[in-house]
Amino acid sequence: MPFNIFDAPVEQLDAELLAQKKLSVSVLRLDQIHPVVSGNKLFKLHYFLAAALRSQHKTILTFGGAYSNHLVATAFACRENDLKCIGIVRGEKPATLSPTLQQCMHYGMQLQFVARSVYDEKANEDFITGLQKEWGDCMVIPEGGYHPMGAKGAALIIDLAKEKGFTHICTATGTATTVAGLLLNNNDTSVISVPVLKGMTDIEQRIHYLTGGNWKRDRLEVLDQYHFGGYAKKTPELLAFMNRLWQEHRLPTDFVYTAKLFYAVFDRIKNDRFPEGSQVLCLHTGGLQGNNSLPEGSLLF
Ligand SMILES: *Cc1c(COP(=O)(O)O)cnc(C)c1O
């Protein structure tokens, strides 16, 4: 690969608020691994790709919506590894493809559009068997890498920030695969999950499936009040916060995932919900391409 997924900087934020509250906040910049491809997605794909390269499967088939960071990451990773890839996209083919889907095609992914009602069966075995018949022998990766192998890959993220004494690791949560990976590591660091979907009540069941039950419940805290109305929903307040993060810390975020994470973390700090002396690490999971769908001029970066 022309980049190293195991190399991303940790940056400590400097702010009066943090000095006042006597704690530190650092950011693991997975967004700097690649300009388009989300950092955490490459980790989640790691073991799938390794298995595909070792096996007869030279084609990967996966799923996503028109703005899916997972689809772009898969398209990119397959190109880098000389694997063929097929993206099953939710919904009828639109007149103009989203920037995300254009990027997928640019990386050589073949797209197949399926009606929403059919797509929502994607976990259904008959549907998957049908796709495998249609496309030949291929390795199927669930949407968002939601699979124990995806969590095992996400667990590798911790290697980038080991032995730095962090007391809390915080991440935005979609499928919960990344947070499950953080919990797979056998240590006592607290893990904070900020769901970006509204009413996500099954995080614990998801983690149970993803880790095979190998996790400690008391390490996890879920902050479920920061979804800003639901998946990919936003408010002027969230966009203003993103611009402030940029002005004060030169930290670019996306409105679907990382902006909600940082908003939650700063809100908790203001409300004295972290003990003095905490050393907080936030995962910047990337995903900046999602901002392409915002009207021009919404953001300062
Ligand atoms: C997919 C994604 C997440 C969520 O990760 P999960 O493992 O699905 O919980 C977080 N941040 C970004 C930028 C993403 O693209």
Residue pair 280/166 in contact (Cβ under 8 Å)? The answer is yes
* Percent of the chain clearing pLDDT 90 (strictly above): 82
Closest atom of ligand 1 relative to the 177 alpha carbon: 7
Query: For 257-277, what is each residue's pLDDT tens digit?
Result: 999 999 999 999 999 999 999
The best mutation among 38, 183, 258, 293 to test binding of ligand 1, ranked by most ligand atoms within 8 Å of the C-beta, falls on 38
Using alpha carbons, select from 286, 229, 280 the residue that is nearest to residue 259. 286
Is the pLDDT at 2 greater than 60? The verdict is no
Query: For 238-261, what is each residue's pLDDT tens digit?
Result: 999 999 999 999 999 999 999 999
Residue pair 29/10 in contact (Cβ under 8 Å)? The answer is yes
Q: Is the CB of 40 under 6 A from ligand 1?
A: yes
Q: Is the CB of 59 under 6 A from ligand 1?
A: no
The whole-number pLDDT of residue 6 equals: 79
Q: Is the CB of 285 under 6 A from ligand 1?
A: yes
Cα distances (Å, whole numbers) of residue 54 to 45, 74, 81, 83, 115: 14, 17, 12, 12, 33
Q: Which residue's CA is minimally distant from atom 2 of ligand 1?
A: 174
20 Cα–ligand 1 center, Å: 31
Cα distances (Å, whole numbers) of residue 163 to 160, 166, 167, 214, 281: 9, 8, 11, 22, 12
| 164 vs 285: which has the higher pLDDT | 285
Give the up-direction half-sphere exposure of residue 26: CA atoms within 13 A in the CB hemisphere. Answer: 19
In one letter, which amino acid is 237? E
Read off the pLDDT of each residue in 113-135 and give the average, rounded to a whole number: 85
44 Cα–ligand 1 center, Å: 10
The alpha carbon of residue 48 and the mean position of all alpha carbons in its chain are separated, in whole angstroms, by 16
Average pLDDT over all residues of the chain: 94
Q: What phi and psi values does residue 89 have, to the nearest 5 degrees?
A: -105, 135
Is the pLDDT at 1 greater than 60? The verdict is no
Cα distances (Å, whole numbers) of residue 148 to 40, 130, 184, 210, 217: 15, 23, 10, 4, 17
190-195: strand order across its sheet: 10-12, 24-29, 279-284, 168-173, 190-195, 220-222
Q: Is the CB of 290 under 6 A from ligand 1?
A: no
- Residue for token pair 């790709």: 49
pTM (two decimals): 0.96
- Residue for token pair 């997975």: 30
Is the pLDDT at 129 greater than 90? The verdict is no
Measure the CA–CA gap between 101 and 92, rounded to whole angstroms. Answer: 13
Q: What phi and psi values does residue 299 have, to the nearest 5 degrees?
A: -120, 155
Read off the pLDDT of each residue in 185-214 and give the average, rounded to a whole number: 95
| 107 vs 57: which has the higher pLDDT | 107
Confidence bin at 39 (pLDDT 50/70/90):
confident
Partners of residue 87 on adjacent β-strands: 62, 111
Residue pair 183/154 in contact (Cβ under 8 Å)? The answer is no
Read off the pLDDT of each residue in 290-295 and give the average, rounded to a whole number: 88
Query: For 68-117, what is each residue's pLDDT tens digit?
Result: 999 999 999 999 999 999 999 999 999 999 999 999 999 999 999 999 98
127 Cα–ligand 1 center, Å: 25
The whole-number pLDDT of residue 163 equals: 73
The whole-number pLDDT of residue 126 equals: 84
The best mutation among 40, 68, 179, 193 to test binding of ligand 1, ranked by most ligand atoms within 8 Å of the C-beta, falls on 40
Measure the CA–CA gap between 228 and 234, rounded to whole angstroms. Answer: 6
Q: What phi and psi values does residue 87 have, to the nearest 5 degrees?
A: -110, 120
The DSSP line for 15-55 is -HHHHHTT-EEEEEEGGGS-SSS-HHHHHHHHHHHHHHHHS
Closest atom of ligand 1 relative to the 287 alpha carbon: 13
The encoded tokens of residue 192 equal 């904070």
Is the pLDDT at 4 greater than 60? The verdict is yes
Query: For 157-185, what is each residue's pLDDT tens digit?
Result: 998 887 789 999 999 999 999 999 999 98
The encoded tokens of residue 252 equal 């670019």
The best mutation among 178, 183, 256 to test binding of ligand 1, ranked by most ligand atoms within 8 Å of the C-beta, falls on 178
Residue pair 104/111 in contact (Cβ under 8 Å)? The answer is yes
